[in-house]
Amino acid sequence: MSKIECTDKTINPLKVKGGGYHCTKTSEGCANCYAERLNLRDGFYAWANGIPFDDRDVEFEVDLSVFDKLPKTVPKRVFVQSMGDMFHGRNNPVDNNIAIFQAISDNPIHTYIILTKRPKRMRIFMRGLMRYEGIVDWGIDPYDTVKWIPDNLHLGVTAENQACADERIPILLDTPAAIRFVSIEPMLGPVDISQYLYCSGDEYRTPYLDWIIAGGESGPGARPMSPYWAESIRDQCKTADVAFFFKQNGVWIPDYLELPGGSNQWRRQRGQYRWVGTGDESVCMFKESKKAAGRLLDGQEYNEYPEVE
Ligand code: SF4
């Protein structure tokens, strides 16, 4: 079982030669990278290499055996490459990704979820696959432009703040994909994605994005997410009729919620609080455990997935 709430399994076919994983930090959302934290624990995890996720040169290789461990008859939602970014450019030749996409097409029973902070490289790659049909054999007519990209491939970008949303989402929308999604996690500020959820002026409101995932940050150094920001994303999705999945609050909860095992006063004295937001939507957030902060948003769980036609 994957620890990532909206998926069943996680596989990491892209590795560093000799062991471990690598990536390079590219935006604010990377500051407390979970994958880097695990990769630094050489000695604790046999597979970790202790290398920080910086700009150094490493040699990548592809381990396709991870596909062999997926169930053969039961369809799963498989998150591909939680330890890094498949579209990391430096030292990751395109042949690596072609091999991974070929393995995806050879195991069509599952739904594959691929997330990147480097949508330009993903767009070039996907357009390249379209142009040179036969590099990856999907088993479908490459000249049927609607059907060319299989439905079981979900491509997404991270948009941890408004600037990242405005930079990355238009590129995602310009990328060949059957299902496109955005992960607003860790949510670091208010984000307005309403213009990307449907064509303005389109009376049928044809969805642009098919799925939105949102969540707060967890782990050491986690930054607080205002519930107002998350509720706003939920409302934008509802208005546009787009599937919304709320992963977690992170490790901070607003002071107006009942706290298990401690009082607000106690936490205030210890400085375990932070104000986030502005004006009437300022909210005092208290540090909690991930478990206590939970997955409820406005008292409700949101576990929606995109519809695949
Ligand atoms: S892109 Fe992802 S894996 Fe790479 S450093 Fe940033 S958060 Fe970590």
Domains in the chain, number: 1
- pLDDT, one tens digit per residue, over 132-142 is 666 666 665 55
Residue 3 lies in a domain: no
With vertex at residue 46, the alpha carbon angle to CA 80 and CA 118, rounded to the nearest 5 degrees, is: 30
Residue 298 lies in a domain: no
Task: Band the pLDDT of 147: cuts 50, 70, 90.
Answer: very low
CB 260 within 8 A of CB 290: no
Write out the two tokens for 10. 């996680």
Residue 304 lies in a domain: no
- Measured from the CB, is residue 36 less than 6 Å from ligand 1? yes
Say what the alpha-carbon torsion angle 121, 122, 127, 129 is, to the nearest 10 degrees: 110
- pLDDT, one tens digit per residue, over 96-123 is 999 999 899 889 999 999 999 999 999 9
Residue 208 lies in a domain: yes
- pLDDT, one tens digit per residue, over 56-96 is 999 999 999 999 999 999 999 999 999 999 999 889 999 99
- Measured from the CB, is residue 53 less than 6 Å from ligand 1? yes
Strands 9-11 and 14-16: unpaired
Q: Mean pLDDT, the chain, as a whole number?
A: 89
Q: Where are the alpha helices (DSSP H) in the chain?
A: 34-39, 65-68, 94-106, 119-131, 162-173, 194-197, 227-240, 264-269, 290-293
Residue 172 belongs to domain spanning: 9-293
- Measured from the CB, is residue 84 less than 6 Å from ligand 1? yes
N- to C-terminal Cα separation, the chain: 26
Lowest-confidence region among 140-144, 198-202, 254-258, 292-296: 140-144
Q: Where are the alpha helices (DSSP H) in 144-226?
A: 162-173, 194-197
Residue 52 lies in a domain: yes
With vertex at residue 301, the alpha carbon angle to CA 190 and CA 292, rounded to the nearest 5 degrees, is: 85
Task: Band the pLDDT of 189: cuts 50, 70, 90.
Answer: very high
CB 111 within 8 A of CB 154: yes
- Smallest CA separation from ligand 1 atom 7, residue: 30
Prediction pTM value: 0.91
What is the reported pLDDT for 103? 92
- Smallest CA separation from ligand 1 atom 2, residue: 84
CB neighbour list of residue 171: distance below 8 Å, 6 or more residues apart: 119, 120, 122, 123, 157
CB neighbour list of residue 222: distance below 8 Å, 6 or more residues apart: 32, 186, 216, 250, 251, 252
Query: Whole-angstrom Cα distance, residue 123 to residue 176?
Result: 7
What is the reported pLDDT for 259? 62
Residue 81 lies in a domain: yes
Residue 270 lies in a domain: yes
CA of 9 to the centre of ligand 1 (A): 19
Q: Is the model more confident about 141 or about 39?
A: 39
| Residue with the two structure tokens 């461990």 | 69
Residue 129 lies in a domain: yes
Cis amide linkage into residue 186, ω under 30° from 0: yes
- Measured from the CB, is residue 85 less than 6 Å from ligand 1? yes
- Measured from the CB, is residue 22 less than 6 Å from ligand 1? no
Write out the two tokens for 136. 């990856």
What is the reported pLDDT for 131? 66
CB neighbour list of residue 179: distance below 8 Å, 6 or more residues apart: 151, 153, 154, 155, 210, 211, 306, 308
What is the reported pLDDT for 1? 44
Over residues 130-153, the mean pLDDT reads 63
What is the reported pLDDT for 157? 98
- Measured from the CB, is residue 184 less than 6 Å from ligand 1? no
Residue 151, pLDDT > 90, answer no
- Mutation test residue for ligand 1: of 10, 16, 23, 92, the one with most atoms within 8 Å of CB: 23
* SS3 assignment, position 207: strand
Over residues 180-199, the mean pLDDT reads 93
- Measured from the CB, is residue 76 less than 6 Å from ligand 1? no
* SS3 assignment, position 163: helix
Residue 144, pLDDT > 60, answer no
Q: Which residues of 64-103 are buried (b: 16+ CB within 10 A; e: fewer)?
A: eebbeebeeeeebbbbbbbbbbbbbeeebeeebbbbbbbb
